[in-house]
Structures are given as structure tokens and as C-alpha cells.
Structure 1
Amino acid sequence: MKVTPAKLVRSLVLAWPMLLAGCLQPMAELPSLERREVELRDRAAEAKAPPPPIESIADPALARDLTAMLARADKAEADFAVARSAAQQAAGAARGKEVGSESWSVAQTRISALDAPRRELAQILGDLEELYVARLQKEAAGEVKPGGSDQIEQARQHVLALLESQDQVIGNLKASLAS
């Protein structure tokens, strides 16, 4: 079947009301493009906030697990801080240098060294998420008393904020070498 200009125009004229009707849908049904509350949160401040109080958890096994995970997170954050200092110095020395130069390569290596503590923190976040889901399932099944999942979620939010702060540091350092 050959499409002629007349057939094309007729098809568009017939389809025009349907296309226009789609544009006239009430806006209340469509999702808003405004920034959501979660996007407005200050992740850096959340990262500096203390983790949840472990003493208030009635389940000793859960308290022990959370204490261990938060200790690992503290160590990963401390390791990141040491590596960040070296990466910032190297990036400062490489600023304005040619891509591929010795100082640029050293800075890239130092920035790459930030991935190890960041990876450890991401692993802890994954462990906390698994623990959270398992705890919710046990609470729903009545195997354990309700509670504890709130502290897991607080710990998860704390580690997530640390991780996002680290991502921002890595992104800023990489951006400083790109110019």
C-alpha cells in the first residue's frame, strides 16, 4: 500500500483529536516533577550524625550484629579519610598538569585507592539491607518481638549517608583532574 500525501494528511487529521486529548489530561493524575523530600535531605549532615543507640535493642543477637557492622563502617570511614587526604594532595599537585603526566597518574592511583574503603562500606550497606529484610520477615511471622527493625533502618541510613558522602568526594576529585 502506497502512502500518498493526501492519505498521510487524512490520517493526521483523524489522529489529531486523540493526540490532543492526551495533552489535556488533568495534571493531578500525573507525578510531580518537583524535588522529593528525599532529594532535599542533607546527606553530609546525616553522615556525621551518630548511629542509632544499640543499647535500646532488646534482642542481644541483633545488638551484637549491629554493633559489629557499625564498627566495620567506622573503620571503613576512617580508612577512607586517610586515603582521601593522600588523594586530595595528589590531585592538588596534578591540577593543571597534562593528562598522562606523572603527577596526573599518581593522582589517579590515589583516587582509585578510595574505592577499597568505599567498597567495604557498600558491602556493609548490603549486609544491613539483608538484615533489615530478614528482621521484618521474622517480626511479621511472630518469631521475634517487634522492634529492632527501626534501629537497623537508622543504621542503614547512617551508612548510606556515609557512602553518598564518599561518592561525592570521589566525584569531586575526579572532576578536578578532568580540567
Structure 2
Amino acid sequence: MKNAASIAVIVLSLAGCTRDTTAYPSLAPRAVEKLGFAEPEVPIVEAKPDPALDARVATLGRSLDGTSKGFAADAAKAEAAAGRARGKAVGSDAWLDAQTTLAQLDDWRAQTSALLTDADQIASDRAAALAPPYPSLASLRERIAAEAQRQSTTIDRLQAALPAA
């Protein structure tokens, strides 16, 4: 009986060893891997006309036209003042006049920068509301950015022509 019990324990122990404990995952492609890595098609949604937004864009456009004209007029004055200041000492009256006109140009550039900020804020608010891009707003934003760049280039050129303080 003792032998039978020992044999039973040995047989049951060996039976546990016969089971395959190594379960490897399948190497077959998973469903998600069959989809590929290409970006999905995104439908193009056109913006619906928005009279209120059109009015804001028109207002910003008129403001841009005003700052552009004001900058151009003051840039001509600054160009003349910078010409008079060439070769003059730092702190001379001509140099101070040129610096004053450059400060006026900086004011115009700040106004243009504020317009760019306003256009970006409107576009950001539309994006947050999941609204599609508005073509006239995008076009105005590009115009404002180009004007801001042109103004910065003009100011940098005039500043470089003056003696450094």
C-alpha cells in the first residue's frame, strides 16, 4: 500500500511535467497591423460664410492699410533723418533726430504686430471651436505677417546705417 501510494505520487508528479508550459504568441499579423501606417483621408471642409467674421476681417484690413500708410510716410522721414545722421557722432542732434524717427517706426511696427496677434487669436478661437480655416482670415494674416516683416527689415536697415550707441 505504501508502494502504491508512492507510485501514485510519482505518476501524478510526472503527469504535471508532461504539460507544455511554453505558450508563445502567434507570429501571424494582428488585425491592426493589416491596416498599414498611411495617414487616413481627411475630408476637406469648407468654411461657411460668416458675416460677423467678414466684418472683423474687413476692420483688421482697414487697420492694416492705415498702419502701412503711416509707416511708409514715417519711413521716408526716417530715411532722410538717417541720411543726415551718417557720419555724425552718437548723441548729436542729427543722431537723436534719427533715433526719434526710428522710435516712431517702432510704434507703427507694434501696431502691425498687434493686428497680427488679433488675427492669430481669431484663427485660434476658430480652431478651438473645431471650425475650418476661414480663407479671407488666412489671407489677411499672411498680408499682416508680410507687412510686419517688411517693416522690421526697414527698421533694421536704418538702424544699421546709424552709428551704434
Give the TM-score range, shorter chain.
0.5 to 0.7
Matched, 1:60 2:60: no
| 2:70 match | 79
Residue in 2 aligned with 1:159? 144
Segments of 5+ residues of structure 1 without an aligned counterpart are 1-55
The letter of the residue matching 1:91 is: A
Question: 1:33-87 deviations in whole A, cap 9, x for unaligned?
Answer: xxxxxxxxxxxxxxxxxxxxxxx97110110000000110110111101110110
Pick the aligned partner of 1:128 from 116, 119, 122. Answer: 119
1:140-179 equivalences under 5 Å are 140=130, 146-148=132-134, 150-178=135-163
Partners of 2:53 and 2:155 lie apart in 1 by 33
- The reply on whether 1:93 has 2:84 as its aligned counterpart is yes
CA displacement, residues 89-118 of structure 1 (integer Å, 9 cap, x when unaligned): 000011111111111111111111111111
Tell me if the contact between 2:89 and 2:163 (Cα under 8 Å) persists in the aligned partners.
no
1:117-166 Cα distance to aligned partner (Å, 9 max, x none): 1111110000000000111222x2xxx6x452x32222111101100110
Tell me the SS of whatever aligns to 1:113.
Answer: helix
SS at match of 2:162: helix
**TM-score, structure 1 as length reference:** 0.62
| 1:106 corresponds to | 97
Aligned to 2:14: none
The answer to which structure, 1 or 2, has the higher relative contact order (CA under 8 A, 6+ apart) is 1
What is the Cα-based RMSD across aligned positions, in Å? Answer: 1.7
Residue 178 of structure 1: CA displacement? 2.5
Q: TM-score when scaled to structure 2? A: 0.67
Structure 1 runs of 4+ off > 2 angstroms? none
Greater fraction helix:
1
